[in-house]
């Protein structure tokens, strides 16, 4: 396969280099070439007229279910779904079976990922078994390839353990990713509020997130370490993060497309594809999330791609598993924010490519000459119906099924190799 | 007998689905069936040859018995399945249970389930009419209808009344069905209870949240109390039932704030001495046993009406 291309007449949006121009981008031997370099003969052309040419998108929060639950997803199927959604890299959470809490599991994931369509960056566990008791061996996991640590899905209850995790992770330059929920307030199944009351479902108050986000900020302030708040869902968390950043705390944050697209009203009809953790919140929370994406309080958009089969989802709402798939819908849902003038094109690329790379310490998210050619071509106009038979992921648990979405990745290139292509 | 007016509902999942006209129609139908239960031969052939399955995933004595009595008085064949006798303990999903029952071609499935929304889920897998006999903290429409019927018998109208509902609003499907039912018929519902048992946004269902028991009960036409549980799944809701009884029960002194002809209701079973002292539960203003009697008539009406749409 050729690793050299001339991507012609696209709109190149490269915030890391302050570039937004119409032009050609040359890829030679899998790397971005200097724009002044003459095009060697025989390099195939890709017509990018009307398309955006951006650094490959990176999803810093996915669940790939391998090892252990391959009937929901595996590393290769997840990577295919990601490539079709425009992602060239993704960070996979450790809550597999077994949990990625040691170098052996990390190495297994890295080995499997060598055959995957896109780059896979494992996240290691904070504690052994994600049980919140004993620290995992960050150093060895780092050597095996983890880019961050997290007990995602099972927030660390013990504040002392979390403090030590932040300190120890900083020795290895690993960010600590916090799923911020106070467990004793989180036994409900949806956002606490009028909709939960109407449906007779037990609520999870916004305060469950507030309390834990504040704890993480306080610990980051105490230790000087870097903490990253996963899937921010509430206005109050946004306010705390904004204030903390204002006084120089090393805190970063992500949200997921469902939190800026849907509200708890989506649960009406007991739709288990609207059940996730943290839950869909109120309209006021959704507005605060949008504002935070625009003003930089929230740094990144991540999908929290959480595949589940019908075994976990075609059941009573109380019994259904939390989580939805998101790799194939994140880009169009974020493009809707651009159309609604919440964010501009440059900010979209920052949220989906530049900042995830920065937070995870990856040399990605840039089209600088010499960089590895991880590139996404986006057609912002192209519409498609996201129907169940078109889902690339092994699972179909999405609240956006049968939505008409606008804007799509038409070509995904990883190291100069085309991994997804709708443009021809 | 009942009017031949069309009834547009195949399933009965909640009071929420009914218009004011629907409710009046159901109550009129129930009224016409009530007399059957006073005959020496308490049976009419209306539902002969129809199969009614009681699918109860939660313990219930009176609701299940009431539905069974109603079905038998209509000559339907009834079968009871409860969690201990069903295969759900073997890990069968609701969908599988539903498909298997459906393959036996029942006409009506009456479901009681601890999870809100389970009756709606059931409708996806069966042809039969589904009647919700209580789902989680969501709805209990037949209870709401029998409460409306009971109030209408004692007040002749269902509009312009003040209805006080006191107790555990948060976990009560009866409260939700009654807030919807009474407000839809033109009455005002006032709720009160310990703050631990008041759910967020109850006002958006149409109820007015009161600041004191006195405010809720004062000049009320109807005083309805709900069953209390001290603790649920390690959630400390109340320090003790003793304290609840002292602070929140409808004593004779509190009841005197209501209209002199106010009626006292409870969906049962009553924790005697907790929600109501015995002298009020058994007193002249109590209509608790009328509620039970009307329950059979309302359920006969629902069975009849859903079959009329089949």
Cα–Cα distance, B204 to B270 (Å, whole number): 28
Annotated catalytic residue B62: yes
Q: Which residues, in sequence order, are bridge partners of residue B264?
A: B223, B286
User: How high does pLDDT run on average in chain A?
Assistant: 97
pLDDT digits (tens, 9 = 90+) for B190-202: 999 999 999 999 9
The model's confidence at residue B229, banded by pLDDT at 50, 70 and 90, is confident
The active-site residue out of A151, A264, A299, A304 is A304
pLDDT of the residue at B15: 98
Distance from the first to the final alpha carbon of chain B? 19
Length of chain B: 310
The verdict on A416 touching B (C-beta cutoff 8 Å) is: no
Q: E strand or H helix at B79, and its extent? A: strand B77-81
pLDDT at B141: 98
Torsion B117-B118-B123-B128 (CA) sign: negative
CATH number given to B15-140+292-308: 3.40.50.1370
* Of A365-369, B59-63, B136-140, minimum mean pLDDT range: B59-63
CA-closest candidate to residue A7, choices A18, A15, A39: A39
Whether residue B1 has pLDDT greater than 50 = no
Mean pLDDT of A291-309: 98
Q: Reply yes or no on whether the pLDDT at B2 is more than 50.
A: no
Q: Which of A118, A110, A63, A95 is nearest to A394 (CA)?
A: A63
* Short-list B284, B7, B286, B295, CA closest to B133: B295
**Is the dihedral angle over the CA atoms B64, B70, B73, B75 positive or is it negative?**
negative
The rounded mean pLDDT for chain B is 93
Is the CB of A317 less than 8 angstroms away from the CB of B201? no
Residue A297 banded pLDDT, cuts 50, 70, 90:
very high
Cα A418 to the chain's mean position, in Å? 21
Q: Which among A193, A314, A319 has the least Cβ separation from residue B201?
A: A193
Taking contacts as CB-CB distances below 8 angstroms, the residues of chain B near A318 are 114-116, 136
CB contact under 8 A, B118 and A316: yes
Q: Where in chain A is the domain with CATH 3.20.20.140?
A: 56-360
**CB-closest option in A197, A269, A318 to B205:** A197
Which of these ranges, A285-289, B63-67, B109-113, B229-233, has the smallest mean pLDDT? B229-233
Contacts of residue B240, Cβ cutoff 8 Å, sequence gap at least 6: B230
The pLDDT assigned to B232 comes to: 73
Read off the pLDDT of residues A203-260 as tens digits, 9 standing for 90 and up.
999 999 999 999 999 999 999 999 999 999 999 999 999 999 999 999 999 999 999 9
Nearest to A200 among B94, B116, B233 (CB): B116
Active-site annotation holder among B138, B140, B176, B184: B140
Interchain CB contact of A194 with B (< 8 Å):
yes
Residues of A whose CB is below 8 A from B93: 311, 314-315
User: How far does B137 lie from chain A, in Å, by closest CA?
Assistant: 4
Percentage of chain A beyond pLDDT 70 is 99
Give residue B310's pLDDT.
45
Measure CB to CB from residue B121 to each of A196, A197, A270 and give the nearest one.
A270
Q: Which residues of B touch A312 (CB under 8 A)?
A: none
Token look-up 């996201």 returns: A386
Instruction: For the domain covering B141-286, report its CATH number.
Output: 3.40.50.1370
Q: Which CATH architecture has domain A5-52+371-384+403-421?
A: Roll (2.30)
CATH code 2.30.40.10 region(s) in chain A = 5-52+371-384+403-421
- Region A164-190 average pLDDT: 97
Sign of CA dihedral A63, A69, A72, A77: positive
pLDDT at B24: 97
Residue pLDDT, tens place only, A382-404: 999 999 999 999 999 999 999 99
Close Cβ partners of A163 (under 8 Å, ≥ 6 residues apart) = A219, A222, A223
Q: How far apart are the first and last CA of chain A?
A: 17
The answer to whether B201 contacts A200, with C-beta atoms less than 8 Å apart, is no
Shortest Cα distance from B205 to chain A (angstroms)?
7
A295 touches chain B (CB under 8 A): no
Q: Do A232 and A255 contact (CB within 8 A), yes or no?
A: yes
Decide: A323 and A251 in contact? Cβ < 8 Å: no
Identify the CA nearest to A316 among candidates A346, A284, A271, A349: A271
Position B59 confidence tier, pLDDT thresholds 50, 70, 90: confident
**Closest chain B C-alpha to A199 CA, distance in angstroms:** 5
Note the pLDDT of residue B92: 81
Bond prior to A29 in cis (omega within 30° of 0) = no
Residue ranges, comma separated, of all CATH 3.40.50.1370 domains in chain B are 15-140+292-308, 141-286
Give percent of chain A above pLDDT 90: 98
- When pLDDT is cut at 50, 70 and 90, the band that residue B308 belongs to is confident
**According to CATH, what is the number of the domain A56-360?**
3.20.20.140
pLDDT band at B56; cut points 50, 70, 90: very high
pLDDT score at B164: 98
pLDDT of residue B230: 73
Contact yes or no for B224/B265 (Cβ under 8 A): yes
Say yes or no to pLDDT of B87 above 60.
Answer: no
DSSP A321-383: PP----TTTHHHHHHHHHHTTSS-HHHHHIIIIIHHHHHHT-S-S---TTSB--EEEEEEEEE
ipTM for the predicted complex: 0.93
pLDDT digits (tens, 9 = 90+) for A99-115: 999 999 999 999 999 99
């Amino acid at each position: 396969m050729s690793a050299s291309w001339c991507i012609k007449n696209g709109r190149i949006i490269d915030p890391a280099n302050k570039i937004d121009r119409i032009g050609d981008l040359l890829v030679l031997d899998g790397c971005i070439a200097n724009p002044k370099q003459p095009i060697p003969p025989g390099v195939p052309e890709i017509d990018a007229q009307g398309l955006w040419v951006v650094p490959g998108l990176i999803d810093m929060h996915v669940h790939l279910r391998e090892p252990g639950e391959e009937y929901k997803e595996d590393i290769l199927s997840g990577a295919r779904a990601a490539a079709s959604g425009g992602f060239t890299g993704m960070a996979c959470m450790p809550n597999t079976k077994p949990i990625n809490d040691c170098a052996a599991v990390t190495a297994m994931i890295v080995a499997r990922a060598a055959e995957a369509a896109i780059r896979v960056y494992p996240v290691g566990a904070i504690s052994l078994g994600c049980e919140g008791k004993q620290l995992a061996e960050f150093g060895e996991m780092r050597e095996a390839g983890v880019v961050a640590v997290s007990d995602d899905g099972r927030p660390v209850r013990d504040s002392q353990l979390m403090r030590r995790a932040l300190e120890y992770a900083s020795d290895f330059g690993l960010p600590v990713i916090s799923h911020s929920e106070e467990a004793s307030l989180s036994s409900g199944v949806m956002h606490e509020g009028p909709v939960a009351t109407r449906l007779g479902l037990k609520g999870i108050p916004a305060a469950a997130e507030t309390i834990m986000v504040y704890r993480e900020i306080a610990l980051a302030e105490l230790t000087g370490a870097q903490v990253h708040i996963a899937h921010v869902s509430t206005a109050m968390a946004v306010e705390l993060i904004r204030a903390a950043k204002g006084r120089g705390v090393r805190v970063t944050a992500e949200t997921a497309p469902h939190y800026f697209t849907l509200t708890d009203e989506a649960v009406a009809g007991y739709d288990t594809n609207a059940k996730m953790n943290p839950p869909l919140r109120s309209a006021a929370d959704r507005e605060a999330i949008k504002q935070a994406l625009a003003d930089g309080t929230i740094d990144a958009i991540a999908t929290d791609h959480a595949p589940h089969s019908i075994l976990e989802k075609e059941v009573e709402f109380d019994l259904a598993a939390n989580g939805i798939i998101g790799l194939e819908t994140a880009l169009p849902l974020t493009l809707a924010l651009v159309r609604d003038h919440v964010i501009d094109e440059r900010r979209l690329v920052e949220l989906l490519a530049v900042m995830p790379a920065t937070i995870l310490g990856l040399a990605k998210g840039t089209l600088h000459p010499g960089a590895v050619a991880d590139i996404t071509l986006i057609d912002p106009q192209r519409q498609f119906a996201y129907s169940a038979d078109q889902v690339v992921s092994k699972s179909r648990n999405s609240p956006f099924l049968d939505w008409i979405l606008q804007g799509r990745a038409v070509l995904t290139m990883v190291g100069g190799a085309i991994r997804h292509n709708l443009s021809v | 007998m009942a009017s031949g007016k069309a009834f547009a509902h195949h399933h009965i999942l909640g009071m929420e689905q009914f218009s004011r006209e629907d409710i009046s129609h159901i109550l009129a139908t129930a009224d016409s069936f009530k007399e059957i239960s006073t005959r020496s031969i308490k049976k009419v052939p209306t539902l002969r040859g129809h199969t009614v399955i009681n699918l109860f995933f939660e313990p219930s004595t009176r609701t299940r018995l009431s539905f069974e009595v109603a079905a038998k008085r209509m000559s339907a064949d009834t079968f009871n399945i409860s969690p201990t006798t069903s295969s759900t303990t073997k890990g069968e999903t609701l969908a599988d249970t539903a498909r298997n029952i459906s393959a036996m071609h029942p006409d009506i499935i009456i479901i009681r389930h601890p999870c809100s929304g389970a009756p709606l889920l059931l409708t996806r897998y069966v042809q039969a009419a589904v009647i919700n006999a209580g789902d989680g903290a969501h709805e209990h429409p037949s209870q709401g209808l029998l409460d409306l019927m009971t109030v209408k018998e004692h007040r002749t109208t269902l509009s312009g009344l003040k209805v006080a509902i006191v107790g555990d609003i948060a976990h009560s499907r009866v409260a939700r069905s009654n807030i919807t039912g009474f407000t839809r018929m033109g009455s005002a519902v006032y709720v009160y209870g310990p703050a631990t048992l008041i759910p967020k946004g109850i006002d958006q269902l149409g109820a007015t949240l009161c600041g004191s028991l006195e405010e809720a009960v004062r000049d009320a036409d109807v005083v309805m109390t709900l069953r209390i549980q001290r603790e649920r799944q390690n959630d400390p809701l109340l320090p003790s039932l003793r304290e609840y009884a002292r602070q929140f029960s409808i004593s004779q002194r509190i009841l005197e704030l209501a209209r002199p002809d106010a009626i006292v209701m409870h969906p049962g079973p009553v924790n005697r001495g907790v929600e109501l002292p015995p002298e009020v539960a058994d007193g002249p203003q109590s209509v608790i046993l009328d509620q039970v009697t009307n329950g059979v008539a309302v359920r006969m009406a629902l069975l009849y009406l859903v079959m009329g749409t089949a």
